[in-house]
Amino acid sequence: MGEVAVIGAGVAGIQAALDIANHGVKVHLIEREPSIGGHMAQLDKTFPTNDCSMCILSPKMVDAQRNQNITLYTLTEVKEVTGEVGNFTVKLIRHPRYVSELKCNGCGDCTEVCPVEVYNKYDAGVGVRKAIYKPHPQVVPNVTIRDSEHCIECGLCYDACGLQAVLHNDEDSEREFELSVASIVVATGFETFDAQRKKALRYLKIPDVITSLEFERLICASGPTGGIPRRLSDGEKPKSIVFVQCVGSRDITINRPYCSCVCCMYAIKNAILLREKYRDLDITMLYMDIRAYGKGYEEYYQRAQDLGIKFIRGMPGEILEGENRQTEIVVENTETRELLKLYPELVVLSVGMEPAAGSDEIAAALKIPKDESGFFAQENMKTNPVGTIKPGIYIAGAAVSPKDIPDSVMQGGAAAMKAFSDAIRV
């Protein structure tokens, strides 16, 4: 019997790995970040049920780690792939963690004593982390990582760790190694659109214009503000919020003609969650169309309207900083032809999805094509939606096209079935 490699350990990759492993085939789950989990680990609640994201994801992450048939490789990337279905060789490179995965128990004593604070990528820039840290409390594997770029070698963490798990040198682990597998599932997911590319929206110029991913961290109970939405300018709780839709999607001026599928629903989700918690908060959504296409989604949209969330059909050309540094949005309501001036205390840009950084290199290594939007191309969208032109290589989740969690999980399962079939033929 052959084995399977799954590249990318977001919810789609984890689902694929679990489904294959639970049928008795060995899986190598390859993730380039220090923890598995992907974007879902950054979310607060999930539409349309408003379930806590980590309450669903965390048990899957732990199952993946504990499963006897799954080997996890974090901080690991693919360098080269050769061979064919039934007999692929995958060359990998593992980057150093500077903490021994075998010795560390995740106690966090080292983090407490570390004097260095830097931007936390996991908190989408709204929070800080130490130079030795866990990206979030529920990381898998439950170990810290020392960031050698920002570490000032003060030595405090070495002294604090009773298990001698912090490593001075870990370059040995920056090593290349190979796997032999029968089939491969690619689930490398997405990146959010860089809102700085839409200059008129003044992202990073006006502090209270933030992205939806930053907003997810702001309202998350385990996030940097303990779940209370706060303005980045003065730390105050905003009294009015405007969500601006389709930022980096459906926009031919930046070569992003496609719809990102999830941003209408995640903005409605966040509006509902806020409105239910803070009844006096004034919430407006500026949109082109509301795309509520899935099971229960239209009813979810209706619930938002019933809660008094305002929906205005119209997109702002720009966001301005007016007198007294007040944020100003001028927008035409395209249904009434009325010209409106809004003065929100916080603006949330609903950024779209684009292929994960590095996916060109993955496509080149695997010799599989991408489509005109840059996502991995399906062999046949209708008859083989998780297949590529290369037998034995399958694709799943947001790496294929913008997608929500239920659809990503479904594709993870479908790709698992195909990869499993190849593995048992060997």
Ligand X SMILES: Cc1cc2nc3c(=O)[nH]c(=O)nc-3n(C[C@H](O)[C@H](O)[C@H](O)COP(=O)(O)OP(=O)(O)OC[C@H]3O[C@@H](n4cnc5c(N)ncnc54)[C@H](O)[C@@H]3O)c2cc1C
Contact residues toward ligand X (CB under 6 A) are 7-13, 30-33, 38-40, 43, 46-47, 77-78, 187-190, 192, 212-213, 216, 262, 266, 269, 356, 358, 362, 397-399, 403-406, 408
Q: Which is closer to ligand X, CB of 67 or CB of 212?
A: 212
Residue 232: contacted member of ligand SF4, ligand X, none (CB under 5 to 8 Å, by partner type): none
> Does 120 engage in binding with ligand SF4 (CB under 6 A)?
no
Could you say whether residue 174 binds ligand SF4 (CB under 6 A)? Answer: no
Does the protein bind ligand SF4 through residue 116 (CB under 6 A)? Answer: yes
Nearer to ligand X, 114 or 213 (CB): 213
* Cβ atoms 182, 391 nearer than 8 A: no
Tell which positions 386-405 bind ligand SF4, by CB under 6 A: none
Q: Contact letters (x/-) for ligand SF4, 316-355, by CB under 6 A?
A: ----------------------------------x-x---
Residue 12 lies near ligand SF4 (rule: CB under 6 A): no
Find which of ligand X, ligand SF4, none residue 309 binds, CB within 5 to 8 Å per kind.
none
Residues 184-243 that bind ligand SF4 (CB under 6 A): none
Residue whose tokens read 């509902």: 272
Residue 376: CB minimum distance to ligand SF4, A:
20
- The position carrying tokens 């809004």 is 342
| Amino acid at the residue 298 | E
Q: What angle do CA 104, 221, 133 make, to 5 degrees?
A: 25
Q: Which of 157, 211 has the CB closer to ligand X?
A: 211
Q: Does 246 bind ligand SF4 (CB under 6 A)?
A: yes
Binding footprint of ligand SF4 on the chain (CB under 6 A): 99, 104-110, 113-114, 116, 131-132, 144, 146, 151-157, 160-161, 163, 165-166, 245-246, 249-250, 259-261, 263-264, 288-289, 291, 350, 352
